A and B are shown apart, each in its own frame.
Chain A
Amino acid sequence: MSFDEIGKVFLILLKYLLPTLKVFGMTLLFSIPLGMIVALLKMCKVKPVSWLMNIYIMIMRGTPLMLQVIIAYFAIPMLMQNAATPAWLNSLLSGVDIKGDAYMFRSVLVAFSLNYAAYFAEIFRGGIESIPKGQYEASACLGFSRTQTFFRIILPQVFKRVLPASTNEIITLVKDTSLANVVAYAEITMKAKQQMQLYSSLTPLVLAGVMYFVLAMVLSLLSSFIEKKLSYYK
């Protein structure tokens, strides 16, 4: 490939960085709060709730994300075609537009968010459980409500403790966004594959690799920066 061609391919891939970042950013936006909720529900004293969360986490972690993306994408169309689907569900589903790019993005986002929430939930649960009981007891004696204790005393400390493990997860997510191409969601990996075929060259794939690498580096630097900022206490 000539320099000109490489430049052209690079610009195309750069354009598709946006959909990649969209999956990445939106997945974080949903999976982190959802993960926190799942973590709290898993620690809940009502046993069935805790079991349910356990099963959810086990399924999400025990099956491939790619499979989950495919299922999320095809579940609704398949149900709509199936004669056995009850009428109420059918009428509910008929409102969903299953053609557009928006649907594609949403199904990818659902699969990613549910999957990553499970991983974050386990990290957050570990973080919350690692906070000494004395912090809760001191808070209670000072008259803090349970909500105040959680948000003012526990959560800031949990944040610091889960940062390294969460960074790992977040960096994995950047790379996992490439799995969205399995349902033809147009992002970097998908475009790089097309360009590879167009030019019969591996260079587009290498370029895509460089982009992921740079993203991962930026995230890892960002995380070390925050970790340093938080190192004022132990």
Chain B
Amino acid sequence: MAMLEVKNLCKRFGDLEVLKDISFNVEQGNVIAIIGPSGSGKSTLLRCINQLERADGGTVKVCGMDMLEQKDGKAVYASAKTLQQIRLKIGLVFQNFNLFPHFTVLRNITEAPVHVLKQNRADAEKTAMQLLEKMGLGTKANAYPCELSGGQQQRVSIARALALKPEILFFDEPTSALDPELTGEILKVIKSLAKEGMTMVIVTHEMAFARDVADHVIFMEKGLIVEEGAPSQLFGENATERTKQFLQRFSEG
């Protein structure tokens, strides 16, 4: 079943067309990697799907619910209630974590389950502790974000997103703000989520990782999908010239 269906998605900032006609699907359990040069619109794509930006055109369907539809040539968003339902079906992990600095690690994770899903606090804390154990942060429940390393903060933010039991998890360059020696721990967590069958869409500059963990890779440039397919296709000999060029420049650093 397609968990996410994006068709002809367009987004403009003033005169700048950042997304031009983006279409792709995400099946349940799939891991999609999105790669592409800076400014190609990768973040904007995730932000449109996560309702942080308003798209100008196209359709988006999440878990069978219409989020954005095209009516009489106009992009129409679903009702506030549906949008909220959709919001809770998906989670987004940011490049710079965006943890709540005034809450402990535990409270960062339980705040939304308690106040949005109206779970009782004891249950929410139990789930949160399980997630923290899984992230190898069982001892940090009462620490504040500023007391953690970047890698630990990012793992907390992944736990925070998972606490709402999303159907799809989006990552926007989850390791870009981290020291190279800390990226490994995050990639490990994402890999283990992939093994559990979590549906994920990951924007990344870690090509080896994309190749290793993704079922499907999308190469974006200037607001368009230039090429997409299995990692063996995009990272192999039969990729288009443009993709090869990008990857080559990438490996040169």
Contact = CB atoms under 8 A, between A and B. Distances in A.
B57 to A, nearest CB: 22
Contact of B50 (A141, A232, A234): A141
B115 A234 contact: no
A137 B92 CA distance: 10
Nearest to B99: A138
Contacts of B117: 143
Interface string A114-151: 00000000000000000010110110111110001000
A64 interface: no
Contacts of B160: 142
Contact of A134 (B84, B91, B94, B164): B94
In which size bucket is the chain A interface? Answer: 10 to 19
Nearest to B116: A143
Interface in B101-130: 101-102, 111-112, 115-117
A157 B102 contact: yes
Contact of A140 (B52, B100, B161): B52
A233 B96 CA distance: 17
A106 interface: no
Interface of A: 132, 134-135, 137-138, 140-144, 148, 152-153, 156-157, 160, 232-234
25 contacts: A134-B96, A134-B98, A135-B98, A135-B100, A137-B52, A137-B98, A138-B94, A138-B100, A141-B87, A141-B92, A141-B161, A142-B116, A143-B84, A143-B87, A143-B112, A143-B116, A143-B117, A143-B164, A144-B116, A148-B115, A148-B116, A152-B111, A152-B115, A160-B102, A233-B144
Interface of B: 50-52, 84, 87-88, 91-92, 94, 96, 98-102, 111-112, 115-117, 144-146, 157, 160-161, 164
